[in-house]
Amino acid sequence: MAQMEKLRQIRCFLMDMDGTIYLGDQLLPGTRDWLDLLNVKGIPYYFLTNNSSRSRVEYAEKLHHLGLEVSEEQIFTSGEATAIYLQRHFPDAALYVLGTPPLLAEFARYGFTLTETDPDLVVLGFDTTLTYDKLWKLCDLATAGKPYIATHPDINCPTETGFMPDVGSMIELVATSTGRRPDVIIGKPNQAIVDALIEKTALPVDAHCMIGDRLYTDIALGRWGMLTALVLSGETRAEDLDRSEFKPDILVADIAEMAVLLREALDT
């Protein structure tokens, strides 16, 4: 009963993408019904992803390809959140960025100079174009004491065939080599991305519900006061809950079951 009352109070839903609404190029069951329900009820929603390898333009195009009518403004990535953070704290910085071309374009769009020669700080993103030389250069710069920012902490990125190493894995590699960890990690579950999100939605933290498949990023956002719902369609398995310090307010098999719960909460 308390769960249903909390759901009735939610004024904005936040959704992870990988492992929550799709895997690879496959839309997960129930996604269209869930979004249709939110649209009919007039409840705003945003896609909040830690994956910094793509821009919001690319994500919007992917969702359109999957048959979902979603605007670019409804997508918020850790890459954009990192650019916003750096704009506030290091507005004139020259950056060395380990990232894909779309991530580099995101920083350029925010007015940053990108360089490989004596940068002011280094940024570690989800770089699917990673080379040994890039990684070596990052380690050299970290050892030299340059400010070091990571876009997000995810260890793995779910795919249709399993998992691929994500930024969190690279953080551990750099730490082993240099003894340094990022000075700041921007993405879920950290305050920097929450601050940027609240600015975007203009709603209090407890008016949001985060739906995702990772305990240590999506569900850990509950520490800031928002409701959390865990779907078991991505990285996390039910048995993982026993070993985790982060517990969801709501546990469902997938987004289809989440739609059932919300419909029941709104109709009672």
The alpha carbon of 157 is separated from its chain's Cα centroid by a whole number of angstroms, namely 11
Confidence label for 189 from pLDDT (cuts 50, 70 and 90): very high
Cα 208 from Cα 171, distance rounded (Å): 29
Return the CATH number of the domain spanning residue range 2-50+188-267.
3.40.50.1000
Does the pLDDT value for residue 207 go beyond 90? yes
Q: What are the residue ranges spanned by the domains of the chain?
A: 2-50+188-267, 90-185
Cα 168 from Cα 78, distance rounded (Å): 13
- Range name among 1-5, 144-148, 215-219 with the lowest pLDDT average: 1-5
The average pLDDT across 93-121 equals: 95
Q: Could you read off the pLDDT of 221-268 as tens digits, one per residue?
A: 999 999 999 999 988 999 999 999 999 999 999 999 999 999 999 987
Burial class (CB in 10 A: 0-12, 13-18, 19+), 87: middle
Angle between helices 31-41 and 255-267 (to 10 degrees): 30
Instruction: Kindly provide the residue ranges of all beta strands, DSSP E only, lying in 6-134, ordered along the sequence.
Output: 12-15, 22-23, 26-27, 45-49, 75-77, 94-98, 113-114, 121-124
The average pLDDT across 146-157 equals: 94
Token reading at 169 = 């894995």
Cα 79 from Cα 235, distance rounded (Å): 21
Mean of the per-residue pLDDT values of the chain: 94
Tell which wins on pLDDT, 33 or 23: 33
**Topology agreement, domain 2-50+188-267 and domain 90-185:** yes
Handedness of CA 86, 89, 91, 96 (dihedral sign): negative
- Under 8 Å CB-to-CB from 197, ≥6 apart: which residues? 14, 46, 48, 76, 81, 208
Give the per-residue pLDDT at 24: 82
β-pairing, 75-77 vs 26-27, is unpaired
Cα 63 from Cα 27, distance rounded (Å): 9
Cis peptide bond upstream of 102, omega within 30: no
Domain 90-185 coded CATH 1.10.1040.10: no
Tell which wins on pLDDT, 4 or 243: 243
Does the pLDDT value for residue 1 go beyond 60? no
